Structure 1
Amino acid sequence: MQAPSNPLAIKTKKYGLEKNKYIAMCMRQLFANQWKWAFLPLALVGLNVFLNLSGTYKNYWIYIFLAISVIGYILFWLIQFTGITQLAQYKQLFDKYRYEIDSRQIFMKISDKEGGVIKWDMILSAYKDKEAYVLEMGKYQFIYLPLAIFNNDNDRKLMDKIMRDKGLIN
């Protein structure tokens, strides 16, 4: 059952997340979460350089292996995120929605009769960059709200206020 529409809610234009934008956002989140692992190949290269220069163990295969491993790891995740965009069960991620946002919930409407509710407590973190609000709900699950879908500056200011009140942005 749908919650009644709040007349004071922020009402946005219809927007559907582009598949390439989804892939880019997931890769960004992947690198943000796993950047520490970049030190492992760097440490192995450093160790190998030391062993080569000291004459203890001369080899060059480790450089090729590490390069292939890093490229393979990145390609693996890129293929995973690209695959999500092709699967039927994830089709709703890319449907066009109109959003009605208030301090209680985010109401995602496909049409006037169809939609779903996301409570604010489901949003784990959020940030605002120069082109959008990103509301993160978990690993690689987020709501991307470009600033262009808001009807005016007052709606953007109200969105800022709601997110500050929820403790999601400063």
Structure 2
Amino acid sequence: MALLLPVEASSADQVFVQSVKAALLGQPQLGAVRVAEVEQGAALPVVKQQGAWYQVRYQDQQAWISRLLVADQPPGGKVSLLVSDEADLASGARRRASSFTTAAAARGLSEDRKRLDGGFWTADMSQVEKVEKLKVTQSEVLEFLKGVEQ
């Protein structure tokens, strides 16, 4: 007679951080005490998996990280939604709206939209376009995040 016990195991021996920064927590739950913080691309050996969390080893300690922040492959090239390259947009397989048009639409702005909450307004599309031309580097994003966390 064999006794079968459930074993929590991960299909991955290690996982790689995909987000710019990821918190390692003391417990497998949001709001748990932050034990450490790791950068994008960090390889973390997996101890076990529990639901949507991995227990990992990091600097001689064990901590938990959300499965949403990691993958079993290293991040492929740095992709940023903050910086667009017009050449990349033009070389797409299908014709896409410009990044300006897409950004304006995401903010609920369009040149033909004239009414908002019962009042009339006009969007200054030249200012929206000016903001969309700003380029933000990854180091600037990291510096901004430091200020948010304080």
TM-score scaled by structure 2?
0.26
Higher relative contact order (Cα pairs below 8 Å, separated by 6+ residues): 1
Higher helix share: 1
TM-score scaled by structure 1?
0.23
Higher strand share: 2
